[in-house]
Amino acid sequence: MAYVISDDCVSCGSCVDECPANAISEGDGKYVINADECLDCGTCADACPNDAIAPEE
């Protein structure tokens, strides 16, 4: 189960450098996580100042 970035994302980029799988990229108005590359480690969620990243339900 991959992590996902909600619309609360303000595109600050805090999560990008923290992702060990390089699974996060800039999308249309917010960053997005490639589910196929996500390691489900949660490092990105810990780095997000807006709590915009959570495990996919």
CATH at 15: 3.30.70.20
How many domains does one find in the chain?
1
**Burial class of residue 45, CB neighbours in 10 A (0-12, 13-18, 19+):** middle
> What pLDDT is stored for residue 35 in this prediction?
96
Average pLDDT, the chain: 96
Express each pLDDT in 35-47 by its tens digit: 999 999 999 999 9
Beta pairing partners, 5: 53
> What pLDDT is stored for residue 17 in this prediction?
94
Domain containing residue 13: 3-55
